[in-house]
Structure 1
């Protein structure tokens, strides 16, 4: 063994790396964490995902209605209780040290008429099974009842949103951490935070519930929906879930009403991301294998030396870079599965041209088919192979992966895996059988043109995804490359926003185009906001500008980057639509291939929204929350002036200097 070790320090380094990998492999989550995301709820599509308990629980008005959903039949609201639980259980712990971390994000509305006395409350719940205690109405919140309240056999942990004061409550407007009882372990009055759970004016509230399985800390954040996530939680409490919940437990919501206290208990959106502990369980045997003794250590050293010598013959630099990058990626929390290059090569038929789906500025995308073990069927995937030089490509690869590996939204393309091997960088995504949106707008015949219903639904989906990136994800993310070719369509023509090669998290202040080392501003003419060409920086407002270009493109089936000849004058798409708006004939911009097969009011609403998003002044563009509400019809179409406003151009000195706050503005007429 001395002879082997004497081959050099590199051999020892290889040995240490291999041993560390074995010792810590059980703590690496190589599989995608179990997760789900419901941006709204459909009785037809989502009912099989939930268990409805208590009689009145249902899906109605695109929401989970935990108790009866009626405002007219008051007797049906008295002394009611219900639960809606996600049907599939999750593994909550392996041991005292290994407990699952989870992040849940949901929007609630506790509705009451002004004449109602709100009560009793709603709760986010972790439960041992798909059942509900009898007579859990009133103060019991659908969690316990007079017989079993406080019993350790309940095995429940909940976050309550209480609207009726009991003797043990601080008031009738608080949140609390409940363990096997409705008498909370910790409570926080919401009066101090200007939050009223059930105000006279119906209000949606967004809630984040985070549990850290390592530190054993439960945190609850809450704001009015549309506002950014607070920096500090309203409630923070140390709790070891293993002591209170079953190893296999279910997530869901519970609620109740009383007499005369009544309310409607609604959940409008819900997402959950939780660690996959099964992978850790499967890998525990590797820890045992790491302690078998000197023979294994000797073998590892020998393998390390042979491997190092082999790599030396191929050149040193690439191997060290591969090991460092691979280690970085494997230790990212929540990383999806790592694939072998040979398997991806086989899945794409050696990256054959016939499997090619498209190409962007950062790589080529191929269709792949991953064979199952029985080789009787396969899973279709999209494989993005980065094609730029190794240093720049590695940065692009890491930038894209660190942004998207934890994103969970039904209208974002889901990352399913990655590979970094032999200097090759690859990302794997869900395969979108209907390709990109631009192909359906420009390559389809009149007979196969995208119908109006699908176009409207696509724009609603993209708006929802953009709102998630800007306001609902843990970090504020700017996409920076929003355009029709980056919007993919699944088998039902639902939109999936993809290609995060330019995306950056604003929290890290990495929103500059210049950092990519590219000349000018990357992006496609017509989609990039005018201020970006001067400042070189992307913002949520510049994403909104790109969305406005997409809205006009989808309605008109015309590219924002081409000129339109109208009365012997050339217009850009946005100027053309603005000119038609000024003339009072904006509906003439609608794709003529649709004929009369579209909803005129919806078309006008979208065109005005597209113009509002294309406002030359960034601060005048609508927020993503307003965009979603305008598309859904909750808000009226924006008020757009008949003439396109002038663009105010900041001085170059101001744009480039971080210390000079003096503004010198030049105004250009549109």
Structure 2
């Protein structure tokens, strides 16, 4: 019985340690529970109310949220949310009742009443301390019973519709701080930000039109400890109601995050509001028949010319041998439409191999990432495309799915699954401490990438060498799992030539020294790069960082120096603030040194790395492996030809020891 209680306690605390978050750019597939008259329209628009009178509705996120610190049940954690709403009234100068963002102990509020109670409370329980309800109201009715300041205001409610703080609807401009009024029931979309700092016990509410960036000065703020009002587990959502005037309330998009800033909504992807007013008669109906005939002739000629131009615009290379690859080949036209003509607005990033764009395929509305790779040489293209199609059959949860390719003129386009959180390096470098990944997330990403490499090296039908393992090539999915991407690209430049690359394909700081001699990538060179990757994730530093006076910080040298003076934990990322599992941090740093050994045979395999990470095999003592600074190296120079054979004199001894070192590592075997 005691064991079950311990397991239950650990499970509860583990779930509470999660930082839940979600982003709904429209609600077509959103995990939301509805009641009352709320419904989701076919285009993804959440319609809270319709023109039915004296009704209420709720729309809550289906899963409960843990708001309190598992170690301190009296402390409310920080949270942030943003949403876009619209209130459409039948009359321009009058409106029904408003909308409230609400934190409540249950998804439904069965005792609540419509009209002025906004579906939150009733005459019997309004003001009761047992309600445990926190709400931000967007109220369009002035009710003297609740001391409303006007019929167009924003208020903060704590268990009571008598707001503890309220303000006329509007926003402060960022250029001069001037205040501009807004009409909540104008029918125009507006955005709200609600943010609570758990440490400072400070709540802010900010409002702005949808086309205006978030104002720097909030509309409302409240210094109040919310722990008496918010229980450990609560539900979040929206409440609204109708009265005697016909009014519709809509939510277009919603984002929420515990212990961090809510992800920005993609305003271009939000559903459209229903059209207002009568449909205008087309001008075409008023044109006479002669003009119609002339117009039709013009349209026909123009259409023919347009088709010719379009065919040339979307012309692509298609050779007989490519017919064999079938569904792996995408049409350029589909990719062009998906990325809105490769507009800069859809640009996700620029890497060493080309530009990457976000897109939505018109055939199945699937979100994808499209990488444009310039490659003028046709030498080896057939072999490379065959390799791309083969890689497209890889299936692993820690590998970004390569869906297919498209060739057009001197360009190759690769289509991948879309990863909403971008690349890992953006989370590690140049981020405020509160927005960096915590240790639990980093350790899970390291383990996930390691499992992905084991799959590539040993578990698929062929051995696949990634060739460019690094943080910028690890993408983060919606659940903050790490996925390896961008493999096969280095192979492209082996088939042809590219004046912008060095003779050794890869990235400085991740290149194994044997590459400069053999120029042949192996699973061992992937392990070397993975060692550099582990160190940069644990230390929050790049493998090679420029310092003052033209000097460079070589990360592996620095970690080794910390280990050599028996203070290896000093190398940990200071942004973690010491909040990590000491044994795990020490293991990652030591594994990084082992994988960075300049002798390939002295490095562990990726399967052995996974066994260390999962605790199935104990870590060997680094000193017993003969690791010294001379056995750890990154290439520093601009070129690699001079560096190819420049091992220190102690390398001869290291090579002689490599067989015994490898034997000791392989004792944890496959």
Question: What TM-score comes out, normalization by structure 1 length?
Answer: 0.45
Rg larger for? 2
Higher relative contact order (CA 8 A, sep 6+): 1
